[in-house]
Structure 1
């Protein structure tokens, strides 16, 4: 519901096109979701989830961006997969020179990582007015869903469904709208601050 509400809010924004990698409760492999975003030449990728943990007292919202370690392994994997294919790196055609291509990918990925952190921080800053934060600043991890080498990507954990209080909030339209609005406002803040 939060993803759908976010989608509906973004559709109302001028100059923004929004796509869902899935529109129903079916499993789509993480790499397929990322590939879909790359095929659409997305400018950013946001994955929205509800968190869970064995300790039912744990609560709060979290935003993750790709860690440098995850980025490096992603870049190596990406280059290996596309070694013999005509492809683009961040909108620039591959040269065929692996050293030049590595340099281009490195530059693109540095900008992507920087923008991922700006996007995540912008969303987190908006979410702190809606829900308690699980961590006060953006987290970094090597989640597969964040590993597009040329698309700033974040994972938004809206709250802990394993926490009784947050589960109740997550099921209310009011909270869903607040979280969706925070995500959209964070995206709009990011668009003003991003590195080009």
Structure 2
């Protein structure tokens, strides 16, 4: 199974720049490399990177490379920025015709501008054509993208602050792979001084990569492609232990029902004294 890992921006396009001088293109490449290495160590998975150095790749070429290699998933890694430097946290986005919020639309405009330099459309297309990046035949792929996006977002709760508690939708050009489920992960706000320091930390980069991989793993063990090692493992009942990060409003009984695990087994597996949960608490989900 092949996972395409896309480090946003690069080369002449630095992406967002933090107050301390950290460039988005640099930090997301570091996270993407960590993610790719972790994927390559995962049984049944391998990675490809759209870029593995400081050079520029057009948005269209990024997802085209994933399609040409028949990737099973496309993950684009970014770091967000806004004028309000108090805004923090990670988010996950998938493609849609319209943005789910003004913030999502704003972000899509900023990321899509990577193919614009000095107001010139780098794709060589008329502006009216260049903005028509949405193909409504993508419904099945978008459904899968939403599912894997939710798996990744759930695990990002265990790493640090999450800006949006649900998967957001926006018209990202880089996610326009017709037949490849695709997500865009905004790992933190580089415009926030605290998040900028986190993004520059090897420890945080590794934790974010681990969270993304954990979400990918959970998705593919629920939806294993035919003929893959993961499909064979699922058929044999060889399931990896899962983790779940408690969110606001969660209950142990609800989590047990979601994962089809008896409540008593869930409590015993986590050595819980009672059925109380705290937001951010990491639970082991027994398998088999």
SS in 1 for 2:46: coil
Matched, 1:10 2:39: yes
CA contact (8 A) 2:96 2:134 kept: no
Residue 170 of structure 2 corresponds to 141
CA contact (8 A) 1:115 1:195 kept: no
CA contact (8 A) 1:118 1:194 kept: no
Distance 1:57 1:16 in 2: 38
Residue 198 of structure 2 corresponds to 169
Distance 1:73 1:26, change over 3 A: closer
CA contact (8 A) 1:7 1:18 kept: yes
Distance 2:215 2:87 in 1: 24
Higher share in helix? 1
1:36-185, aligned counterparts within 5 Å? 36-69=65-98, 74-75=134-135, 106=137, 109-185=138-214
Matched, 1:23 2:49: no
> What TM-score comes out, normalization by structure 1 length?
0.79
Q: CA deviation at 1:193?
A: 2.9
Q: CA deviation at 1:129?
A: 0.7
CA contact (8 A) 1:120 1:138 kept: yes
SS in 2 for 1:74: coil
CA contact (8 A) 1:74 1:149 kept: no
Q: CA deviation at 1:164?
A: 0.2
Distance 1:69 1:147 in 2: 13
CA contact (8 A) 1:62 1:138 kept: yes
Distance 2:175 2:64 in 1: 11
SS in 1 for 2:47: coil
Distance 2:63 2:174 in 1: 6
Distance 1:119 1:194 in 2: 10
CA contact (8 A) 1:34 1:147 kept: yes
Higher relative contact order (CA 8 A, sep 6+): 1
User: Following TM superposition, where does structure 1 have runs of at least 4 consecutive aligned residues deviating by more than 6 angstroms?
Assistant: none
The answer for unaligned runs of 5 or more in structure 1 is 77-105
Q: CA deviation at 1:54?
A: 1.2
The answer for unaligned runs of 5 or more in structure 2 is 1-29, 100-131, 226-288
SS in 2 for 1:190: helix
SS in 2 for 1:49: strand
Distance 1:74 1:153 in 2: 13
